[in-house]
Amino acid sequence: MNSPVKSQRLFEEAQHFIPGGVNSPVRAFKAVGGNPLFIKFAKGAFITDEDDNQYIELFNSWGPMILGHANERIADAVKEAVEGSLSFGAPTAMEVEMAKLICAMVPSIEKVRMVNSGTEATMSAIRLARGYTGRDKMIKFEGCYHGHGDSFLIAAGSGVMTLGEPNSPGVTRGVAKDTLTVPFNDLERLEEVINANKDQVAAIIVEPVAGNMGCTLPAEGYLQGMRELCDANGIVLIFDEVMTGFRLSKAGAQGVYDVKPDLTTLGKIIGGGMPVGAYGGKKEIMDYVSPQGPVYQAGTLSGNPVAMAAGMAMLTQINESESIYTDLANTTEAIEKGFQANLDELGLGYTMNRIGSMVSLFFTDQKVIDFDTAKSSNTEKFGLYFREMLNNGVYLPPSQFETLFISTSITEDLVGRIVEANRTALKKIH
């Protein structure tokens, strides 16, 4: 590996002009030690930094690059769209085709509104739920992250959790009092909170598979029980599928668990990695959105033609494939089993959670089922492990509390290289 001279210089310069030198907190490497690498190029399964070091990359822009980096069909679609202008601020035929495809792939979505990010999608969905029900309160789950909207920065996961800031300054008491938090996977506690706030809860928002306290799966019957509680109490159930949408199945996590939410939020996978989001669901709820209804939400760049072209190219490839999810699951399982064999050989305490192409290694011997058990992980050991994996040519997400996202670009040969890098890294930190 080349010494990260250029990355170091860029980081030093960036700190003079960008808060913390980065435009998103987890990128700062504070949780794993050292300074961030600055990336200049990626193709397929590989990412290259400014010092020309190449890595096998296992988080794929935090999930959306399910087909690998710089997919040719997506790149060609973007190039063609750019020729017609970068933005119109007016309707396009591509928006209609994109909406039709999303509704066809996700049965719970009858109408959909395009936005510019997952955060914008979740903020809009909560506002819509409040407007539709006439209620103020919402319930979220400890360790679930739904973007940086004020309502969500209460017991959030991911970067907030990594930096030890479960609540953010700037979130008012008024906002906080309307956000109720419940432990993930605790249906009894959820019911208690609903009963204690009878006829006041507008929405429950949940990552059906949590990805921001590491990959954390719902217990058997948990999502179904949540659906029943919402039906019994007139509460809008929102599945935040910014990470899981079109990654776990063509219908997302709701397709895997066979539970239909009232609203679904989607993220950048629907733009092939470009800044895109969407929220959609039942017609009678979505018809409350302006200009059809009274709940206001707007955006000049919503349905941006370049992003829509990229998204159509991405989703069309996924929709055409008969085996993409089986192939991804098999590849990820091979990585998981290789890691487990290495950990068992060295006698290291660990937990691994996986579903489809999402997988996390936790440095704890507790079963990780919620925020508290995720926090039992040895974050110092993870930092050492992250740096050793990087030294061995594998780029992991720089936080114990993030998920690995595997792409179709990971071949059998690369699985072998990843597992061997894992073995070498674990030996170093053992």
Show which residues are catalytic: 145, 240, 268
Q: Are strands 263-266 and 236-240 parallel, antiparallel or unpaired?
A: parallel
In the block, tokens 């990470």 appear at 243
Q: What is the number of residues in the chain? A: 430
CB atoms within 10 A of CB 97: 15
C-alpha to C-alpha distance for 236 and 238, rounded to whole angstroms: 6
Prior bond of 291 cis (ω within 30°): yes
Structure tokens at 195: 């009963």
| Amino acid at residue number 347 | G
Amino acid at 24: S
Angle at 55 between CA 143 and CA 314, to 5 degrees: 65
